[in-house]
Amino acid sequence: MRVLAAMSGGVDSAVAAALAVEAGHEVVGVHMALSRNRDQFRTGSRGCCSIEDAGDARRAADVLGIPYYVWDLSERFEDTVVADFLAEYEAGRTPNPCVRCNEHIKFEALLDKATALGFDAVATGHYARVVTRDVPDASASDGVRSVRELHRSPNEAKDQSYVLAVMGPERLARAMFPLGDFASKDEVRAEAARRGLSVSAKPDSYDICFVADGDTQGFLRDRLGARPGEIVDAEGTVLGEHDGAYAYTVGQRKGLGIDRPAPDGRPRYVLDVQPASNRVVVGPAELLSVDRIEAGAAVWFDGARPAPGERADVEVQVRAHGAPVAARVRAAGDAIEVELRGTTLRGVAAGQSLVVYDGPRVLGQATVDRAYRAAARSADRSAGQPAPTGAG
């Protein structure tokens, strides 16, 4: 196959490209320049897409003996990933830019361009597995058809199936994850060293790639400007002021800007962000726990969508490295209704990605629209009143 290897300049993508070459594919390396103002060097483990990263990717391609190109996707990245990030925070939601990058850049812009150029697949350094199995299909000539499934990586600490779930079945059909069977990052680094790749000891990048200094609130403030408003408790009592509700997220404890402690001395957390009134609502930890979630813009993998009216027993995960929890899920159009089973989740915010699993297999993904407080629902049931339908 003709394979386009996405090479970030890190060890994972370099080894992924090496394994694609070793498998006998015709491989071409490409580095995506995503920043309009590229720094010369990375700052430790922060940031990405620097000129240094492009140079590291080129050196890896030279070692592997494959052609190498740099594609400028910075305008597409700004117009999709960064714009979505700003719009979601401005709307009082909490986005995951890595999910949007995989959706709009790596498995849309990059994959579509690769297909137009005649490549059969795109290989990346993500930690996830693609499992192919045969399922009965009466319409097939031999009575079966092959289904490609997205599965968790055996490397639980680095598993990236959560941020890949948004890609859906059509894009999964043209994706390769050569690191899928590696159980640890040390194995990948050892593989890089064995092959003479200079990035074998390069630090991992983390945090939001376009907020290289890690100051997300500062980035939002620079882009969106100061918008003073009130911080209130659940009863509406004003406790303090803020410079922009967009800088807060559900579950946040630190940096609330409240001068006086709660009457009971317990810490306060952000319960809700209300962009219409420009208010931030804070309260005790027990009001962060939710037991029901509604999510929209659902994407299901081949054969994974529950039948109409069916409530499937699954697991759901709402953070990239969060623990999956038992749930019952019903699909309704392009939405998902989730009822947690015997547990609650804390601090679920609108805008987060909700991924549905069956063991290691990814079934689908949706974006959280509303979460219902377990404590409020319990109190209302005790009072004989219907549970509230508000967010958070």
Cα 145 to Cα 1, 129, 133, 134: the distances in Å are 21, 19, 8, 5
pLDDT at residue 386, rounded to an integer: 35
pLDDT tens column, 67-113: 999 999 999 999 999 999 999 999 999 999 999 999 999 999 999 99
For strand 175-176 and strand 121-123, is the pairing parallel, antiparallel, or unpaired?
A: parallel
pLDDT at residue 4, rounded to an integer: 98
pLDDT at 185 over 60: yes
pLDDT at residue 130, rounded to an integer: 97
Average the pLDDT over 7-25 and give the result: 97
pLDDT at residue 67, rounded to an integer: 98
Average the pLDDT over 50-60 and give the result: 90
The answer to whether the CB of 184 falls within 8 A of the CB of 132 is no
Phi-psi region at 309: left, alpha or beta (left = phi > 0; alpha = psi -120 to 50): left
User: Picking from 162-171, 253-262, 294-303, 353-362, which range would have the lowest pLDDT averaged per residue?
Assistant: 253-262
pLDDT at 380 over 60: no
Binding residues for ATP: 6-13, 32, 125
Burial (CB < 10 A; 0-12, 13-18, 19+), residue 296, is middle
Binned at pLDDT 50, 70 and 90, residue 204 comes out as confident
From CA 62, how far away is CA 66, in angstroms rounded?
A: 6
pLDDT at residue 236, rounded to an integer: 93
pLDDT at 27 over 60: yes
CA 358 to chain centre: 18
pLDDT at residue 205, rounded to an integer: 73
Which residues are known catalytic residues?
Answer: 101, 209
pLDDT at residue 376, rounded to an integer: 58
Give me the percent of the chain exceeding a pLDDT of 90.
77
| Average of per-residue pLDDT values in the chain | 90
Can you read off the two tokens belonging to residue 213? Answer: 């200094």
pLDDT at residue 39, rounded to an integer: 53
pLDDT at residue 371, rounded to an integer: 95
pLDDT at residue 335, rounded to an integer: 96
Binned at pLDDT 50, 70 and 90, residue 42 comes out as very low
pLDDT at residue 389, rounded to an integer: 33
pLDDT at residue 49, rounded to an integer: 63
Closest to 60 measured CA to CA, from 74, 26, 52, 102:
52
From CA 284, how far away is CA 261, in angstroms rounded?
A: 12
Average the pLDDT over 211-221 and give the result: 86
pLDDT at residue 100, rounded to an integer: 94
pLDDT tens column, 133-178: 888 877 877 888 888 999 999 999 999 999 999 999 999 999 999 9
pLDDT at residue 388, rounded to an integer: 37
From CA 288, how far away is CA 270, in angstroms rounded?
A: 8
pLDDT at 332 over 70: yes
pLDDT tens column, 260-291: 888 888 999 999 999 999 999 999 999 999 99
pTM: 0.90
Closest to 15 measured CA to CA, from 182, 246, 255:
182
Q: What structural domains does the chain harbor?
A: 2-201 (3.40.50.620), 226-283 (2.30.30.280), 287-382 (2.40.30.10)
Closest to 195 measured CA to CA, from 4, 62, 15, 56:
15
Binned at pLDDT 50, 70 and 90, residue 38 comes out as low
Can you read off the two tokens belonging to residue 331? Answer: 């699909």
